[in-house]
Amino acid sequence: MRKTIAAGVAGIVLFAGVGVPMASADTVTGAGSALVAASSVSLSKAGAQVKWKANTVKIKVRTSLGATWTATPAVDWLKVTPATGTSGTKVTIEVAQNYVTTDDEILSREGEVLFSAGGATTTFRVRQDVPPTVISVAGGGTWNVPWGETRDFKDGYYNKRVTFTSGGTAAGFDCSTSVSDAWISVADFQNNVAAGSGSFTVLVAANYGPNRNGNLKVKCGHDTVKIKIKQADGPFVGVWPKNWIVVAEGGVTRIRVNVPEAGTSWTSEVTEGADWVSAGKTAGSKNHEWIIVNAEPNPNPGTIREGTITFTGWRDTDGDGDLEAINTADLTITQTNERAYFPYLDSNGGLTLLIQFFTALFTGWFVADANTPNL
């Protein structure tokens, strides 16, 4: 026969104004005078919110029937003293300083301590703020970097050593760097976690092309500092325009070859299978030089074909007297399967269609000849 002791035992125990549910009511089980009682465990606080620095939290543990309790932290940054005791024991929970590197949106970390007595358990929860990260990067802000071949360049890279501090009054941040583009890199990164400081070398590759922009980020804790890097244009070859559309009859056009840095030259080469196009000049070193490009008539006027002229920039980049290729620029020629009226020179170098265009523009009619399509 089972009996329940109702008097003198409550299902909820109150300590210091905090109600903690009991594991169960005390019960008497068995035959005759044999009694077996279930335990309960409660805390004077259910949890605590603490700052990022090292902290201590004091609570009192109570159990029913004089049961012994045991505390087990779930994370290594919480320590309980004493780790076991009897009802009424005062406990100190030590919270270590928070050095955790977190994402920007994460503002705290959480941990638990499990208190158990017999078959009853309860949990004490600790939420700890992350440190108020403050990063200072010497020489931060915006850098204006030359394209190359200056005293700041070594082995083809612009070199600059950067120092940083993290945490302000707080040391111990795990810091890292990231870059936006492959032409920016970081070497010899050193982070003294205990001191909250570090340094690294920024490498910016020589620029054989137009001016470019990138950035480098230093992240410590949940704070980030960005260094903007603007690099001037360097020696390179460029063409304008980059595309030419020509009609089936063929034609002639002018393009401009650019080599803005003195000491740079260029050569041109027609890609394989595009021998129907040619450049009036195949090498040079003058900036903003206009050259003639010719496209022959399409022997299959019902088809579309493409060709490319590749311009290669050359420069002695290592001072050994030999020229090295620094970059390439392409002119793409597309020959349509149609004949059209717009101002261009025909394949014979004449002005037949140019004259027809302006005649139509001012008189409203076209002069028909052997080259005029049916309208």
Same domain, 140 and 82: no
Q: Pick the closest to residue 248 from 359, 373, 355, 361 (CA basis).
A: 373
Between CA 229 and CA 141 the distance in angstroms is 9
Same domain, 14 and 97: yes
Does residue 116 form part of some domain?
yes
Last residue of a domain, one of 200, 231, 262: 231
C-alpha dihedral over 56, 59, 65, 68, to 10 degrees? 0
pLDDT in tens, the chain (375 residues): 333 333 333 333 333 333 333 333 333 333 333 334 457 999 999 999 999 889 999 999 999 988 999 999 999 999 999 999 999 999 999 999 886 654 444 567 899 999 999 889 999 999 998 776 677 888 778 999 998 877 778 888 999 999 988 764 445 567 889 999 999 999 999 988 777 788 999 999 988 888 999 999 998 777 788 999 999 988 888 999 999 999 999 999 999 999 888 888 999 999 888 999 999 999 999 989 999 999 999 988 789 999 999 999 998 877 788 998 988 999 999 998 877 554 444 443 444 445 444 544 444 433 333 333 333
Last residue of a domain, one of 231, 259, 291: 231
Does residue 370 form part of some domain?
no
Last residue of a domain, one of 231, 250, 278: 231
The pLDDT value given to residue 194 = 75
Between CA 61 and CA 46 the distance in angstroms is 11
- DSSP-assigned letter for residue 372: P
Between CA 197 and CA 321 the distance in angstroms is 45
Same domain, 17 and 111: yes
Does residue 364 form part of some domain?
no
Does residue 355 form part of some domain?
no
Same domain, 196 and 295: no
In angstroms, the Cα distances linking 129 to 27, 237, 258, 337 are 43, 55, 57, 70
Q: What is the CATH number of the domain that holds 146?
A: 2.60.40.10
Same domain, 150 and 68: no
**Residue recorded with tokens 């410590």:** 220
Residue 256 sits in which domain range? 238-340
- DSSP-assigned letter for residue 64: G
Same domain, 9 and 121: yes
Same domain, 224 and 266: no
Same domain, 319 and 245: yes
b/e 124-158 (16+ beta carbons within 10 angstroms → b): bebebebbebbbebeebeebebbbbbeeebeeebb
Does residue 151 form part of some domain?
yes
Helix/strand/coil for 213: strand
Same domain, 280 and 299: yes
Nearby residues of 132 by Cβ (< 8 Å), 6 or more positions away = 52, 168, 170
C-alpha dihedral over 208, 313, 306, 293, to 10 degrees? 130
> What is the tally of structural domains in the chain?
3
Does residue 372 form part of some domain?
no
In whole angstroms, how large is the CA radius of gyration of the chain? Answer: 40
Same domain, 124 and 26: yes
Which run of H or of E encompasses 361? helix 352-363
- DSSP-assigned letter for residue 65: G
Same domain, 40 and 76: yes
Between CA 59 and CA 45 the distance in angstroms is 6
Q: Pick the closest to residue 251 from 275, 276, 269 (CA basis).
A: 276
Does residue 361 form part of some domain?
no
Q: Pick the closest to residue 128 from 145, 108, 143 (CA basis).
A: 108
CA 127 centroid distance within chain = 30
Q: Look up residue 252 and give its two tokens.
A: 């002639």
Does residue 360 form part of some domain?
no
Same domain, 23 and 47: yes
